[in-house]
């Protein structure tokens, strides 16, 4: 286990999580709000876990973690940190199965991930990007302590992204 909150646990993904990853990445809300990852079967889901998720743990020491409610055994989402070449800072990300939306899980997980980024990982600034039309996700970021910076057109991304930052200390002149 990487992180724990009052209601959630977060752990590293495993290849055995492929059915969950396949469901999450193909949910209409994920595709519309985050993007189509092109994962259409269990083999592609296993490959996605091995290359993208576990690869991030290996390369950066962090990544997206599987989120499970303490009162259940089935994963409901992903939350964690991502290092992207197109952003100046590590960014916080989260995605939950649509049947779990509206329960405060995203905010709870985001707060835990931000605390981990600032504490054990020592990151002073953490970014977040979101589809500008995803108002619910933007509210989660703002409630978590992120401030809107601007809308950016990132290299390799078809749509613009609303760019947010959370800083531990205000930047000086």
CATH (domain of 84): 3.40.630.30
Nearest to 63 by CA among 23, 130, 114, 12: 12
- Cα–Cα separations (whole angstroms), residue 140 to 94, 117, 157: 10, 17, 22
In a domain, 52, yes or no: yes
Whether residue 45 lies inside any domain: the answer is: yes
Q: Is the CB of residue 48 less than 8 Å from the CB of residue 21?
A: yes
| Structure token digits, residue 1 | 């286990």
What is the rounded end-to-end Cα distance, in angstroms, of the chain?
40
Enter the tokens of residue 66. Answer: 């599987």
Residue 173 lies in a domain: no
Task: Look at residue 10 in the predicted model and tell me its pLDDT.
Answer: 98
Is residue 147 assigned to a domain?
yes
What is the model's pTM? Answer: 0.93
User: For residue 161, what are its two tokens?
Assistant: 């992204």
Q: Is residue 154 part of a domain?
A: yes
Residue 162 lies in domain: 3-167
Number of domains the chain contains:
1
Q: Give domain status of residue 172, yes or no.
A: no
Residue 90: pLDDT above 90? yes
Contact 90, 81 (CB under 8 A): yes
The sign of the dihedral angle between the CA atoms of 80, 85, 90, 95 is: negative
Mean pLDDT for the chain? 94
Q: Is residue 51 part of a domain?
A: yes
What value does the mean pLDDT take over residues 120-149? Answer: 96
Percent of the chain whose predicted confidence (pLDDT) is above 70: 97
How many other CB atoms are there within 10 angstroms of residue 132's CB atom? 15
pLDDT confidence of residue 170: 47
Which tens digits make up the pLDDT trace of 99-128?
Answer: 999 999 999 999 999 999 999 999 999 999
- Cross-strand partners of 80: 64, 93
CA distance 73 to 69: 7
Structure confidence by residue, pLDDT tens digits, 3-56? 999 999 999 999 999 999 999 999 999 998 888 999 999 999 999 999 999 999
Angle between helices 105-118 and 135-144 (to 10 degrees): 40
């Amino acid at each position: 286990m990487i992180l724990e909150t009052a209601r959630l646990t977060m752990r590293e993904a495993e290849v055995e999580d492929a059915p969950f990853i396949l469901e999450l990445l193909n949910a209409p809300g994920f595709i519309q709000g985050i993007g189509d990852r092109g994962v259409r079967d269990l083999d592609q889901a296993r490959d996605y876990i091995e290359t993208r998720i576990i690869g991030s743990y290996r390369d950066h020491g962090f990544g997206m973690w599987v989120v499970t409610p303490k009162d259940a055994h089935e994963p409901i989402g992903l939350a964690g940190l991502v290092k992207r070449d197109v952003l100046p800072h590590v960014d916080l990300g989260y995605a939950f199965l649509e049947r779990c939306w509206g329960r405060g899980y995203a905010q709870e997980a985001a707060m835990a991930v931000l605390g981990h980024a600032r504490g054990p990982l020592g990151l002073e600034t953490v970014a977040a990007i979101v589809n500008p039309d995803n108002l619910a996700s933007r509210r989660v970021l703002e409630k978590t302590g992120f401030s809107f910076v601007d809308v950016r057109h990132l290299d390799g991304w078809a749509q613009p992204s609303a760019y947010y930052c959370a800083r531990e200390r205000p930047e000086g002149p």
